[in-house]
Amino acid sequence: GAFGRLAYANLCVTHAMSADLHSRWRIKARVLHDAPPPRFRARSVKQRDELLCEFAVKLRLPQLAGATRPAVLVSSTSWGDDEDFGLLLDAVQRYDRLTAIASVTSSPVTVRRLSGRRRPSLTPSESSSGASSPMRRDSASSTDSDFLGGTPSSVDANRLPPLVVIITGRGERQDHYMARFDELRLLHVVVRSVWLSAADYPRLLAAADLGLSFHTSSSGLDLPMKVVDMFGCALPVCAVDFNCLAELVVDGKNGFVFSDANQLCDQMQVLLRGFPSHCKKLHYMREFLQKATTRWDDHWNKNARGLFQPF
């Protein structure tokens, strides 16, 4: 703070931080929000389908093609104390129950056994073994459980799709949470923990259907860069609420903001019901992001470059 008052100019990443600097140190700081670099960009529908097929093979995921494919949700994390994945545990458990109910009540279904017969398109028990696999851990139902999958006639406005939830990153609490996901024995939700290269990470974000953020700023003054990257790929986000999140996530426009697991589950239903053809809110958010997202170079030139011109 003392050195900041001696500076020619000051930059910070949120209006909340600017207000804090002014109130504590009488520092006037210009706000320069983070913006995505060019590698985080949207893809066409055809390109996204191709990427999903590629990642299904590369990460040994269930089949990610076709009108009844699962929705792909992505979150990135360092598995630290500032991210509560217990919210995701509770949300997917409730979603799994609701999907089973919707599958039974909305249309005819086909029940297949996972052991001893041809596997269905969503295979929670896909093997994660193999030294060359980039997967870290996976969570799904047991190999001898029933998989409840809708027939093509179930692709309607009431369909709740199965989910493939991909969590990228490594960290201290990773094994703890993945073991808890293992215990749930979900029928309609697969949770995978993977490690991706720097080149593959933006490609996965571009291919995914919905982003998830459980980051809560310890200071309440900064924003999650993972959400910025997701927005760069035109990926709508459900994000846990904290002090200055509204500077990034505009609730109902580019994503939803939640405060508990039930609210997150409700939001996933709103966005994914009728997937992939009839989820109008999800499509609206993606189109909004494609038009509204500002790139880093343009953002810098508009908001910060002028500060350096005197030099």
Residue 276 has pLDDT above 80, yes or no: yes
Residue 129's pLDDT is what?
33
pTM, rounded to two decimals: 0.84
Residue 114's pLDDT is what?
26
- What is the token pair recorded at 126? 């896909």
Find the range with the poorest average confidence among 93-97, 100-104, 209-213, 224-228.
100-104
Between 138 and 58, the more confident residue is 58
Residue 118 has pLDDT above 80, yes or no: no
pLDDT confidence bin for 121, thresholds 50/70/90: very low
Give me the mean pLDDT over the 201-226 stretch: 95
> How large a percentage of the chain has pLDDT more than 90?
68
Give me the mean pLDDT over the 282-292 stretch: 96
Of the candidates 289, 201, 223, 218, the residue with the CA atom closest to the CA atom of residue 252: 289
Residue 247's pLDDT is what?
97
Give me the mean pLDDT over the 293-307 stretch: 86
Residue 139's pLDDT is what?
57
pLDDT confidence bin for 293, thresholds 50/70/90: confident
- What is the token pair recorded at 203? 């490609």
Return the top range by mean pLDDT from 28-32, 140-144, 208-212. Answer: 208-212
What's the chain's average pLDDT?
Answer: 85
pLDDT confidence bin for 112, thresholds 50/70/90: very low
d(CA 267, CA 99): 14
Residue 103 has pLDDT above 70, yes or no: yes
Between 307 and 256, the more confident residue is 256
Query: Residues near 310 by Cβ (< 8 Å), separated by ≥ 6?
Result: none
Residue 5's pLDDT is what?
79
Tokens 């458990």, located at residue: 93
Between 57 and 147, the more confident residue is 57
Give me the mean pLDDT over the 155-173 stretch: 91
d(CA 149, CA 276): 15
**What is the secondary structure of 128-194 as a DSSP string?**
---TT--EEEEE---TTSEEEEE-GGG-STTPPPPEEEEEE---TTHHHHHHHHHHH--SSEEEEEE
Of the candidates 133, 113, 124, 213, the residue with the CA atom closest to the CA atom of residue 167: 213
Residues 41-64 have pLDDT tens digits of: 999 999 999 999 999 999 999 889
Residue 109's pLDDT is what?
38
Residue 175's pLDDT is what?
96
Residue 113 has pLDDT above 50, yes or no: no
